[in-house]
Structure 1
Amino acid sequence: MSFFNLFTQKSSSKISDKKLKEMLESSTPPLLIDVRTPEEYSRGHISKSKNIPVQNFEDSIKKMGLKLDSPIVVYCQSGMRASQASKILNKLGFEEIYNLGGIGNWSYGLKR
């Protein structure tokens, strides 16, 4: 990371469930990541989300080989782990990071 990037890096943006739904229905949907545990994920998650627990988030993201301009949305149970994941994505240089916060912010039903 260059010295210049240290001062121009974006942090994550909060996203509403309505905006996320629109993005997921678009022709270029974002990568949607549920950072809760597999047990929490199995009890209900947003359709099309990928479960990558925050405990091994950084290594998993690095292995995926994503482009830094890939749009990524994270969420968890209450928003705390999603904030941690957003900071990790920011540190790795991702440019388009959105944070839904907790799964309770999603009002369109869950997949089990």
Structure 2
Amino acid sequence: MRSQRFKHEFNENLAKKFYQDIRCGILHQAQTKGNSQLSYTSSVMVERIHNGIRVNVLMFSEALIKEFEDYIRLLEIGNRLARENFLKKMQFIVDPNDRSPKRGYGLRF
């Protein structure tokens, strides 16, 4: 499933740059990498800048929350693909060594 809220903001190159500079930078080094920046005042959610990207934290956070709420609704209404993917991920979290072909189907909700 692809995000409806981010598909107009991120192309493949911006998504890779976000992953490398923002996500990995903050997670592994507690700071963004390259020249990438977090902003509260930028007029767009994400934009390319010299040797990096600038992400408006407020716009990004708002879109991420709405995306998560949409995902929860898909699970609640019984969307088959969303539920199967959720179950597979939860099974992996519960038992990452389980390599059974029916992985994820032991969990029910």
Q: TM-score, normalised by structure 1?
A: 0.24
Higher relative helix content = 2
- The structure with higher relative contact order (CA 8 Å, sep 6+) is 1
Q: TM-score, normalised by structure 2?
A: 0.24
